[in-house]
Structure formats: structure tokens, C-alpha cells
Amino acid sequence: MARYTGSVCKLCRRERQKLFLKGQKCYTEKCPIENERNFPPGQHGNSRRAKISEYGVQLREKQKIKRIYGLLETQFRNDFERASRQKGRTGENLVKILERRLDNVVYRLGFASSRKAARQLVRHRHLIVNDILVDIPSFVVSPGDVIKIKEKSKKLDLIHNSLKRNKDNMYSWLTVDKATLSGTFLQVPERSEVPLNANEQLVVELYSK
């Protein structure tokens, strides 16, 4: 399957804000957003002053959300189409769908320091959902689902180092048991509960053109 293999720090620089794609590095002074490289990549990144159009604003917001969750265009568009067919506000439905992805839930539980690392855990068959091994990052988690680290994978340093940095569960829709390396997806979060610094309504407007 196709995936982005370039520098993820360039993605944060392009959006001019932290997207938390690099794990622990995002919380240190090595993060480009924290130093003199806080400008878009490219030869003219530090000198661009052009006024951005309405379409440009909408596009940047779409790119930002897509990159935060680590999706390619087709994947993101498919999730948007699903959201548009559901009842309620399409933008909020989209965020809820993205939050229910298994790789995102693994990241939110603290088993990985980034969504990219969480996706790797899932792909490498380290995760069990309701006693069934799942290796599909886009697997949709439902309320009541129990996510566990496979018994043979419980000694992975990647998991334990991430849990040490995530001392407390910050999300009301999840519970985490660090002793058993398991967590439960209690409910689909409301948009107001999701810590996502983005305006998903601009994505709706972009795709509605």
C-alpha cells in the first residue's frame, strides 16, 4: 500500500504548527517549529508573503487534518464520503470516523508515541481487538471494544517508553490498564472532546465545490 516516506518535519513546517508526527522529538527543542526553521520548506519558504485565497485556506486545513491522522488522499476522501452519508454534521462525523481508526486509538491509549508508530505496531501484528488479532490500521473500533497488546509483544521497549511519557489517560472515552497493557474504547467521542486544532468545516466546504 502506498504511504508517505518523506520527512514528516517538513509537513509540520508547511502547516506552520506542530502536527505531532515525530513522537518524542515533537516535545523537545529539536522540533523545527521551536527553532529558526519555523517556516515552510523549500527555496522560498522563508520569504513567502503572498495572500492566501479562500480555496487555499480550505486546502491547507484539509492537508493539515489528513497529515495529522497520517492518511493519503484516497483514504481521506473515502472517510469523508462515509461521513457525508451519516446523519448530523459532516465535519464532526469525519473527525469521529478518524478517531475510531485502530491506529489512532492505539496512539491515544499511549501504546505508541505517534500515529505512525501506532500504525507500525498494528501492521506488525502486535495488537488484539476483542481477542482477535487485527493488523489493519484503518479497522474501525466500536464502543466496548477491548484493545490489547499481544502477549509475545508486551516487552517491546517502544510500548513501555511511550507509556512512561503518557503518565495519565487524558481522554474520557478511553480507559487504560498499564499493568495488562490493554485499553477499552468506551464510546465515540464528541467533537468538543477531541484535541484537534483544526476546522473540519473548511474541509466540507472544499469538497462541496
The pLDDT tens digits for 38-60 are 656 554 556 556 678 899 899 99
CA pair distance 64, 19, nearest whole angstrom:
8
Q: Which fold has domain 102-187?
A: 3.10.290
In this structure, what are the phi and psi dihedrals at residue 146, rounded to the nearest 5 degrees?
A: -110, 125
Q: Which fold has domain 8-98+195-207?
A: Ribosomal Protein S4 Delta 41; Chain A, domain 1 (1.10.1050)
- In the chain, where the domains are located: 8-98+195-207, 102-187
Strand partners, 146: 184
- Express as a percent the part of the chain with pLDDT over 70: 75
Q: Which residue has the higher pLDDT, 7 or 116?
A: 116
Instruction: Give Cα separations from 121 to 7, 49, 156 (angstroms).
Output: 20, 41, 10
CA pair distance 56, 51, nearest whole angstrom:
9
CA pair distance 17, 40, nearest whole angstrom:
10
Evaluate if residue 159 carries a pLDDT over 60: yes
Evaluate if residue 208 carries a pLDDT over 80: yes
Query: Given its phi and psi angles, is residue 112 left (phi above 0), alpha (psi -120 to 50 degrees) or beta?
Result: beta
Tens of pLDDT, residues 164-174 = 887 767 899 99
Cell of 4: 508517505
Q: What is the pTM of this model?
A: 0.79
What's the one-letter identity of residue 58?
A: Q
pLDDT reported for residue 1: 46
CA pair distance 156, 187, nearest whole angstrom:
28
